[in-house]
Amino acid sequence: MARSAIINVMVQAAVKAGRSLARDFGEVQNLQVSLKGPGDYVSQADRRAEEIVHTELARARPGYAFLMEESGALDGDDNQHRWIVDPLDGTTNFLHGIPLFAVSIALERQGQLVAGLVYNPAMDELYTAERGGGAFMNDRRLRVAGRSKLTDCVIGTGIPHLGRGHHGNALIELRNVMGESSGIRRMGAAALDLAYVAAGRLDGFWEHGLSPWDMAAGALMIREAGGFVTDFDGGADFLDTGSIVAGNETIHRILSKQLKKTLPAR
């Protein structure tokens, strides 16, 4: 598969950061870990990966703005473009030796997502997407799963935990979906969850309380793989609201309906 120049830039940055993460993952017990908040750890590995991604992207596209998990928003001379970066999605998995973590990079142009990448260096799985160009995993074209009954589906989600606030309807939402689906998965890395929806590994996904860097790349992948991504109200403001529902057209509609049964109303 011939990649565009912008995807090549993103791949180079992600793979270089991924090599650093892979080395640190092999010595995870030796990492010096600081406590950023209850249940929210940030490690040397996380900071190193972000620095690598920032350096590589800034060198290739000088002037583009950044929104990064650790460093926050960085303005650029080019206000039409913004990189959205999570250098290590799934930090808790990483620190516990669970190989479900990823580098996530997305590019916005004039407020529209135009390119996305999710890379899991532990499994050497590289997911890429470009607006209008489709979604791929290691150069294999991706399509969302085609199941049309929730009873046949495996659905991904996130569950509130220490340090991530409290979504009071989470157990009700779980009950509503568990009782109608083939299974629920909570894997601890939203960027990977969304990539798995694009790849057809998960039939759908929902979560509250996410940040833009958790969702941007994966959301574009799902759309480019033929799926649907919205916020909980059916709109396109998930990067702002932090709540997301995804799946193929049918499962997205059914899943949204199940979630809206939640009482009391949000």
What string of DSSP letters covers 190-239? HHHHHHHHHHTSSSEEEESS--HHHHHHHHHHHHHTT-EEE-TTSSS-HH
Which among 121, 117, 98 is positioned nearest to 106, based on CA atoms?
A: 117
Is 203 annotated in a binding site? The answer is no
pTM here?
Answer: 0.92
Q: What is the pLDDT of residues 149-165, one digit of tens each?
A: 999 999 999 987 766 55
Tokens linked to 224: 């480019």
Omega into 121 within 30° of 0, i.e. cis? no
Is 86 annotated in a binding site? The answer is yes
Domain ranges of the chain: 5-141, 150-259
- The pLDDT value given to residue 263: 47
Q: What is the pLDDT of residues 115-142, one digit of tens each?
A: 999 999 999 999 999 999 999 999 899 9
Tokens linked to 98: 């669970």
Is 88 annotated in a binding site? The answer is yes
- The pLDDT value given to residue 33: 75
**Architecture of domain 5-141 in this structure:** 2-Layer Sandwich (3.30)
Is 78 annotated in a binding site? The answer is no
- Does residue 37 surpass a pLDDT of 80? no
Q: Which fold has domain 150-259?
A: D-Maltodextrin-Binding Protein; domain 2 (3.40.190)
Is 69 annotated in a binding site? The answer is yes
d(CA 20, CA 4) in angstroms, rounded, equals: 25
